[in-house]
Amino acid sequence: MNPYYFASIALILIGFYAILAKRNVLKMLVGLSIMETGVNLLLISVGYVSGKSAPILTEGITPNNAVDPIPQALVLTAIVIGVATTAMALSVVINLYEKYKTLNVEEIRRLRG
């Protein structure tokens, strides 16, 4: 198995584990960010063509020795959306802590009822 694929799958799984098993909301958010990183790494590594360089066509780089530009454009979009969702989630976490004075998901569930 290719190391890039392996690393991206491992990152996605580590993030998923954090979401499933951790009780602290902040740790779950860290897991979400790790998952995003894994997905972005997977997208980039699918677009790689061995032996070719970055798709910036200056000084000796012709269209024949550049990698696929589309996954890089997709990842550029995905990173920004990841940052936006993380910022939203963090402000929700700030509100949660101000309301319940705890970040443990099980306690928050109990407090509500």
Q: Which stretch binds other proteins (CB under 8 A): 28-36, 54-62, 103-111?
A: 54-62
Closest C-alpha to 33, from 48, 47, 22, 45: 22
101: left (phi over 0), alpha (psi -120 to 50) or beta: left
Q: Whole-number minimum distance, CB 104 to other proteins, in Å?
A: 14
Is 60 one of the binding residues for other proteins (CB under 8 A)?
no
Characterize 64-91 residue by residue with b for buried, 16 or more Cβ atoms within 10 angstroms of its Cβ, and e for exposed.
Answer: eeebeeebeeebeeeeeebeeeeeebee
Q: By CB under 8 A, name the one of 66, 103, 105, 108 that touches other proteins.
A: 66
| Count of residues that interact with other proteins, criterion CB under 8 A | 49
Is 17 one of the binding residues for other proteins (CB under 8 A)?
yes
Q: Whole-number minimum distance, CB 112 to other proteins, in Å?
A: 18
Closest C-alpha to 105, from 31, 9, 14: 31
Question: Tokens standing for 10?
Answer: 């491992």
Q: Residues interacting with other proteins, by CB under 8 A?
A: 1-2, 4-6, 9-10, 12-13, 16-17, 20-21, 42, 45-51, 54-58, 63, 66, 68-70, 72-73, 76-77, 79-81, 83-85, 87-88, 90-92, 94-95, 98
